[in-house]
Amino acid sequence: MTALLTSEFTSYIERKYIKPQDILTAILKASPILGLIRKDTSMGDYVDLPINYAAPAGVSPSYTYAVSGQAPGTYTKFTVQPVKIYAYGKVDNGLIRSAAAKNDKTLMLQPLNNEMDRLKEALTLQMGANAMGSYGFALGQVLATPGGTDYVLTLKEPSDHIKFYNSMLIAASDTNGTSGALRDSGDTCKITKVTRGATAAILTTDTGYWTTVINGLAANDYLFAKGGFGSGAYGLSDWIPATAPAGGDSFAGVNRSYDTENLAGWRISGVGMPIEEAINNGMAVCAVGGATPSVMLVNPLDMASILNAYKSTARPNVVYAQGEGNVAKIGYSSVKITTMQGEIDVITDRFKAKGSLLLINPESFVLLSCGELVRFLPVDQQGSIFRLTPAGEDSTEFSIVGQWQIGCNAPGKNARIALV
């Protein structure tokens, strides 16, 4: 069929099938934090997020001392810039021709449909993991140093298996991507098998032995998709880090060590406590400190513990995404539990690391983007999003790009409870 990808058929595909809104909806459904927070599509080269983290000092029972002690409120600003993420797909035209043999345009779409859905899933995984993680963009860690003749590598946290899939090219570093460099000049292993499980997750490669291809690979190393090291958006692990920022900190242009709670959220230990006690103690700290969370984001495995503890009092609820149109119709199943600070909605996020609870005030965060969060890249002046690959490949290609960032103008409204 020589007219397989004529402008007429391409137009039909884009009019009837290609809807960037569908990709946006898939991303927001899979990543609750991206759905729950405010949206701002007017991001330019950068955005300043001002914050007043200390009140004026001129207050005293004595007027004289109020005057002499006067000092203005303390202000600063987080400056964030957009980052890009790309998704590239390619379909063998032979598959499309086979479907087209039945003279049904709908069937002709099926190969593109299948590939687009899988690409959409891969993009969702990457953006969801980034949002709950860090701009370092680490996807997981190595449990133990693979042997010299091992094609297999075991993940330190089994639930991280959701971030890996076949054919990914994986690099490694002894840092989480916010500093340092990749091992062995960024050499990568290609994943050929992912063994998934609640107690163990294993990555298999056929590129060569893990420690031969990535020289120096060791226990506790961090793993990255090729090109991902240090290139992600700011995630919740950046805005509310597990460890308080130390002197010399410089995050989005701010030294947060001057006021680690107001500038980097609250860190509360619930280690060794029953989970309901950890939650109540955490909410008490929030009440004293001025944090105002309305949502608790948890790993599904931690949700099981919460439900076991609150099984007689928890009640189901739905929390809706912030946005317009179809976005506002996206709902996240939650359970409401009662704490010493009132009720809070507990929502699972499969990208949330196990072993801690995030107490979030969604209004303090914003999902920034340069126009639409994700869009197809046009390949010609007519705006078509499909094109034939160079001669000899006989394929059709398409690309999706996201230009985005996550901002926060009040980290002190949020908290993190460590369980382990």
Q: Would the pTM of this model clear 0.85, i.e. be above it?
A: yes
Distances (CA, A) of 190 to 165, 166, 210, 214, 407: 10, 8, 10, 11, 33
Using CA atoms, how far apart are residues 391 and 385, in angstroms rounded to an integer? Answer: 18
In the chain, % helix, strand, coil (3-state, to 5) comes to 30, 30, 40
* DSSP symbols for 69-95: T--PPEEEEEEE--EEEEEEEEEEHHH
109: left (phi over 0), alpha (psi -120 to 50) or beta: alpha
Q: Which residues are within 8 A (CB) of 268 and not within 5 positions of it... i.e. 6 or more apart?
A: 278, 281, 282, 285, 415, 416, 417, 418
Average pLDDT, the chain: 90
pLDDT of residue 1: 35
- Residue in 170, 183, 91, 185 with CA at minimum distance from that of residue 399: 91
% residues pLDDT > 70 (the chain): 90
360 closest CA partner among 378, 344, 341: 344
Q: Is 248 buried (19+), middle (13-18) or exposed (0-12) by CB count in 10 A?
A: exposed
Instruction: Determine what percent of the chain is predicted with pLDDT higher than 90.
Output: 75
384 — pLDDT class (breaks 50, 70, 90)? low
| pLDDT 10s digits, 270-313 | 999 999 999 999 999 999 999 999 999 999 999 999 999 999 99
d(CA 411, CA 37): 13
Task: Give the tens place of pLDDT for each residue, 51-105.
Answer: 999 888 889 999 999 999 888 889 999 999 999 999 998 888 777 677 667 666 6
Q: Give pLDDT, residue 172.
A: 98
pLDDT value at 4 more than 50: no
In this structure, the number of other CB atoms found within 10 A of the CB of residue 155 comes to 23
Q: Which tens digits make up the pLDDT trace of 232-280?
A: 999 999 999 999 999 999 999 999 999 999 999 999 999 999 999 999 9
pLDDT digit string (tens) for 21-48? 888 999 999 999 999 999 999 999 999 9
First-residue to last-residue Cα distance in the chain: 61
